[in-house]
Amino acid sequence: MENVIGDIDIISEKEKNDEIILISEEKKTGKRKKLYVESYGCQMNFSDSEIVTSILTKDDFETTSDATKADLILINTCSIRERAEQTVRNRLNHFNGIKKKRPELTVGVLGCMAERLKSKLLEEEKIVDLVVGPDAYRDLPSLVNKVEDGQKAVNTFLSREETYADISPVRLNSNGVTAFISIMRGCDNMCSFCVVPFTRGRERSRDPHSIVAEAKELFENGYREVTLLGQNVDSYKWSPNDELKGKAQIEKADNPNIVNFSSLLEIVAKVHPDLRIRFSTSHPKDITDEVLYTMKRHENICKYIHLPVQSGNTRVLEMMNRTYSRDWYVKKIDAIREILGEDCGISSDMITGFCTETEEEHRDTISIMDYAQYDFSYMFAYSERPGTLAEKKYQDDIPEEIKKRRLSEIIEKQQKISLNRNNKDVGKVHKVLIEGFSKRSKEHFQGRNSANKVVVFPKENFKKGGYAYVTVNNCTSATLMGEVVR
Ligand code: SAM
Ligand code: SF4
């Protein structure tokens, strides 16, 4: 789930890896050294980069958006597909040019690639001085000192407890209106294609008090939308009892004070009626009717669910170890439509050409798209990842050109469905949270409706961060266009 940049709604593998990056901004605070951060991959990585920036700007650093001026360059990396790692290696090559001119520059790799390759990364990429995994960011100031003393530094320790709950993130590339709040870390699912459980460790939920405090602070600072982030938000579980470590122990305990995702949503929704709440990602095996009813009860919880299907075929889903069938997934879609109505936005992730997938099974993915009527989807060709269950158990036997052809078929299908869904919004009035100027014109604002669709309308006297009611009179497959209702 990575729909952060403007009005890119249907994202191919290329766009997803090449375009969605987050770069630190120039902020002069008079600190001694300059930090440049570049972030790839999912929203969780972007959120982590904000935590890293907070840790280092409390130390000796101020941020810069110009890598050539930096004393420390950090790349927060993604390992989800091979291409994502290749992009990072290309960037390291580019930074090599800067380091040749300024040998005192420190270059560090953070995130999933750091965790996956550990000290091997130091051998493979000579430019790298620092390798830090997702649970070791508190150690960054001392690791940087170690590098400044002439050594290489690595910390890829994975924790069962770290949630960075007490760290107030420094918002990067912020529009001042929408922000992410990380509510949990890691993943205990073992989808056979996925590296995340290996690179981000065991699942753990963050103290709800610190989540609510962060939401309140954001609201007081003018933000009007928060997205609660986790790999599988519906399995959020927090216990006030410190002795219960990890999700498994909390699930077994019989404690009325345990906070689940539905109750967390409710308490965040109560922070302020003008603060919108979104969340991502929902796993079809875990999302409950209780969550759907909580969404229905609160106007400010956006009617939008990212519910990745991955495949529409039960045999393939079993091989993917997704632990639900096609029928189960279809029933979840039915429950969403029944409880939240036809207008609720639904999006998905899909993988084409997973091991042994037949043409008929691929057509099952197309038919479930027809059934679910996704507003948009993130679609990928299967990329085998070292160390995953699929790599150990199955052969990556679908030729690349077939994966790509199937991918273009589902992209084409999604475009038609998106256009069809957007056409249904024409003529209706949408409540839009204004995020800023439209990409194409300073005379227009853009924002999102509750269903997470981008809506563009004439700016007039409206203000960023305010709500506008817009009648939609036109659309493309990616954007709704309209006029403000008087
Ligand atoms: N936790 C989320 C979930 O379960 O839906 C997904 C997180 S993952 C960072 C985002 C998406 O990347 C997945 O939903 C999947 O579609 C895709 N993905 C993961 N591993 C992949 C692989 N080996 N090849 C292609 N796509 C992959
Ligand atoms: Fe990966 Fe599955 Fe966990 Fe999502 S739920 S992060 S796809 S293992």
The end-to-end CA distance of the chain, in Å, is 35
Q: Is 40 in the pocket of ligand 1 (CB under 6 A)?
A: no
Please tell me the distance between residue 6's alpha carbon and the centre of ligand 1 in angstroms: 21
Indicate which ligand has the atom closest to the C-alpha of 82: 1
51 CB-side CA count, 13 A: 26
At 20, the pLDDT band (50, 70, 90 cuts) reads: low
C-alpha 196 – ligand 2 centre gap (Å) = 6
Beta bridge mates, 433:
448, 467
Sign of CA dihedral 181, 183, 188, 189: negative
**pLDDT tens, residue by residue, 219-275:** 999 999 999 999 999 999 998 877 666 666 677 666 767 899 999 999 999 999 999
Return phi, psi of residue 34, to 5°.
Answer: -110, 135
Evaluate: CB of 42 within 6 angstroms of ligand 1: yes
Residue 88 token pair: 């990072």
The pLDDT, as a whole number, for residue 10 is: 31
- Give nearest CA residue, ligand 1 atom 10: 1
Distance CA 134, CA 112 (A): 7
**CA atoms within 13 Å, Cβ hemisphere of 401:** 0
Q: Compute the distance from residue 52 Cα to the ligand 1 centre, in Å.
A: 24
- Reported as a single tens digit per residue, the pLDDT across 155-202 is 999 999 999 999 999 988 889 999 999 999 999 999 999 999 999 999
CB-based contact 262:311 (threshold 8 Å)? no
User: What is the 8-class DSSP label of residue 11?
Assistant: B
**Residue 444 and residue 453 in contact, taking contact as beta carbons nearer than 8 Å:** no
Q: Return the residue whose CA atom lies nearest to atom 6 of ligand 1.
A: 231
17 Cβ inside 6 Å of ligand 1:
no
Task: Locate the ligand 1 atom nearest the alpha carbon of residue 1 and give its number.
Answer: 10
196, 173 contact by CB (below 8 A): no
352 CB near ligand 1 (under 6 Å)? no
DSSP letters for 362-412? HHHHHHHHHHHT-SEEEEEE----TTSHHHHHS---S-HHHHHHHHHHHHH
Ligand nearest to the CA of 111: 1
Closest ligand 2 atom, residue 195 Cα: 1
Nearest CA to ligand 1 atom 2: 231
Going from the Cα of 211 to the center of ligand 2, the distance in angstroms, rounded, reads: 23
Cα within 13 Å of Cα(333), Cβ side: 20
Q: Whose CA is nearest to atom 5 of ligand 2?
A: 189
pLDDT in tens, 405-441: 999 999 999 999 999 999 999 999 999 999 999 988 8
- The answer to whether the CB of 194 is under 6 A from ligand 2 is yes
The finding on whether 380 has its CB within 6 A of some atom of ligand 1 is: yes
Percent of all residues in the chain with a pLDDT value above 90, rounded to a whole number: 87
Give the Cα separation of 431 and 420 in Å (integer): 20
- For residue 77, the CA-to-ligand 2 centroid distance in Å is 17
* Helix axis angle, 208-220 to 261-269, nearest 10°: 30
Q: Is 348 in the pocket of ligand 1 (CB under 6 A)?
A: no
- The label of the residue with tokens 């409206």 reads 462
Q: Which atom of ligand 1 is nearest to the CA of 384?
A: 23
Closest CA to 112 of 387, 350, 366, 372: 387
Instruction: Among the bound ligands, name the one nearest to the CA of residue 112.
Output: 1
Other C-beta atoms lying within 10 Å of the C-beta of residue 162: 18
| Cβ-based burial of 93 (10 A; exposed 0-12, middle 13-18, buried ≥19) | exposed
Q: Per residue in 273-332, pLDDT tens?
A: 999 999 999 999 999 999 999 999 999 999 999 999 999 999 999 999 999 999 999 999
Nearest to 348 by CA among 331, 364, 369, 328: 369
From the CA of 189, give the closest atom in ligand 1: 4
Mutate to test the pocket of ligand 2, among 190, 191, 236, 350 (most ligand atoms within 8 A of CB): 191
Nearest to 428 by CA among 459, 371, 380, 472: 472
195 lines ligand 2 (CB under 6 A): no
Summarised one tens digit per residue, pLDDT across range 49-95 is: 999 999 999 999 999 999 999 999 999 999 999 999 999 999 999 99
